[in-house]
Amino acid sequence: MLLVSEPVLGEDEKAALSAVIESGWVTMGDRVRDFEQAFARMHEAEDSVAVGSCTAALHLILHALGIGPGDEVLVPSLTFVATANSVLYVGARPVFVDIGSAEVPLMSLDDAEAKCTSRTKAVILVHFAGYLAHRDAWQSFARRKGLLLIEDAAHAPGMPDVGTYGEAAAFSFYGNKNMTTAEGGAIIARSRTLRETIRSARAHGMTSGTRQRLTNRRPDYDVTILGFNYRMDELRAALGLAQLKKLPQWNDTRRRLSTSYRQLFAEQCPSVMVPFEAPWPSAHHIMPVVLPPGTIRQRVIDRLRKRGIQTTVHYPPVHRLTFYRDLYPETTLSRTEDFARHELTLPLHPGMTTSDVERVVTALAAALAADYPVGAVA
């Protein structure tokens, strides 16, 4: 089966994990700190904070910024549910914003403006599929409205300018991301004070960690703020250090494969629309396409699976998931809903070759042709 996403794991990762096990220290320690500094350097940031997941990162950012009950946060519905969940975690209300269009399925500035109220305190931008939102436009909007700007950069590690939009950015290292630590995340924050608040809150608000107490030979500590157990461990940090070295090369491979997809679709399958005009700054996390109107998507999925090709959907709109539909039954987002009905995510990862891309495009063309005679699809 040609998978939608597949982590690249090899001898470097095995050696890194073995070294941690041999050291006898597996909880948060020196490797976590090394990873934080290396991740920050890659993004030309002063520092970063490693955490247990991107969800934890988003929660910590909102918590440290003081977002809470009575506040509203603008979020896209075309995202993973964690983006909205993190807003509920701090007691605030997520306000769902439509995408701009199927061609550019990022959060709409116009709809965001229309949904601002006196209670709106922040906006979470999602760099969907690894394609970066327009920084200047969103910074101008945030300044004009007095909003805190946060990036959900789960899809965009290693990209220039990521982490520079606003107050902070959250990254994901889940198993299907551009680089992985199995589970894990990181935060880049502009303010040192904000970073240190986040750093403290990820570990129960304690004034010292286990490693520090061992080094300093003092067993005492204090708790100064409300905190959580959102730490990264040494095993994941070791994986991250090994993966981080390869991230630029992997992102370039993703870019080349995405270019091949676009060229082959134009030649063999022009009825399939590929969002975002090239060249759009992107980490090319996933390969989303929009199927022709009238296509029964499940048939296409089934036909591709029979040919050994996995596909998936990014994403079921968050506001249409049962939990959120029950919370906000009046929410409708026509462009997001229409995009979600027709979107299909195709395989894209560094383990693929251009021959794999050709196989996918040929199979998709055949799957569509089974329903539409030659020339019937405009």
Q: Which amino acid would we find at residue 165?
A: Y
Measured between alpha carbons, how far is 367 from 352 in angstroms, rounded to an integer?
Answer: 21
CB-neighbour burial class of residue 219 (10 A; exposed 0-12, middle 13-18, buried 19+): exposed
Residues belonging to the chain: 378
Residue 145 among the catalytic residues = no
Question: CA torsion, points 92, 74, 94, 329, in degrees to nearest 10?
Answer: 140
Measured between alpha carbons, how far is 186 from 26 in angstroms, rounded to an integer?
Answer: 18
Catalytic residue among 177, 245, 246, 306: 177
SS3 213: helix
Structure tokens at 275: 């969002």
Dihedral sign of CA atoms 88, 161, 261, 333 in order? positive
Measured between alpha carbons, how far is 295 from 283 in angstroms, rounded to an integer?
Answer: 29
Which residues on adjacent β-strands are paired with residue 2? 309
Listed in sequence order, the residues at least 6 apart from 66 whose beta carbon sits closer than 8 Å to its beta carbon are none
Q: Which DSSP string do the residues of 304-357 spell out, in sequence order?
A: HHHTTB--B-S---GGGSHHHHHH-TT---HHHHHHHHHEEEEP--TT--HHHH
Rounded to 5 degrees, φ, ψ at 188 are: -110, 125
Count CA atoms closer than 13 A to 128's CA, side-chain side.
29
Q: In angstroms, how far is CA 85 from the centroid of its own chain?
A: 14
Contact predicate 79/96, CB 8 Å: no
Q: Which residues belong to the active site?
A: 177
